[in-house]
């Protein structure tokens, strides 16, 4: 009884196509890139916004505090001649005016 010859690897790969490993790899890479694009990219954007927003807030608060300190010192030494209460009143009044202007710009949320 004659025994059938086993298929050679070249015959099997010819039946499946020569490019199937490349096609499978490309399909996997495409799926991974799509998943990464839908998950990683938005998370990175949120992370950047949090980091840069926190940094901007810290720098902004520091600038406002240092400006107030410098204004009080300059007013105390050169305008009010060591009457520090007057410098505090003037700087406080400027902050109240700035706050009132910002408050008028704020909009109340719609309650529907």
Q: Which residue has the higher pLDDT, 36 or 108?
A: 36
Q: What's the pLDDT at 89?
A: 96
Tokens of 70: 């410098």
How far apart, in whole angstroms, are the C-alpha atoms of residue 27 and residue 4? Answer: 36
Q: Cβ(91)–Cβ(72) under 8 Å?
A: yes
The torsion of the CA quartet 13, 16, 22, 23, rounded to 10 degrees, works out to 180
Q: What's the pLDDT at 109?
A: 79
Contacts made by residues 97-106, CB under 8 angstroms, sequence distance 24+: none
Q: How would residue 10 be classed by pLDDT, with cut points 50, 70 and 90? A: low
Region 31-50: mean pLDDT is: 91
Query: Average pLDDT over the chain, rounded to whole?
Result: 87
């Amino acid at each position: 009884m004659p025994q059938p010859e086993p298929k050679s690897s070249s015959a099997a790969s010819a039946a499946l196509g020569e490019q199937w490993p490349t096609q499978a790899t490309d399909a996997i890479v495409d799926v991974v890139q799509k998943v990464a694009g839908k998950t990683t990219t938005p998370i990175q954007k949120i992370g950047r916004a949090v980091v840069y927003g926190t940094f901007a807030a810290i720098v902004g608060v520091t600038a406002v505090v240092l400006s107030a300190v410098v204004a009080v010192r300059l007013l105390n030494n050169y305008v009010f001649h060591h009457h520090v209460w007057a410098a505090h009143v003037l700087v406080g009044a400027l902050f109240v005016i700035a706050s009132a202007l910002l408050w008028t710009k704020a909009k109340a949320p719609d309650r529907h």
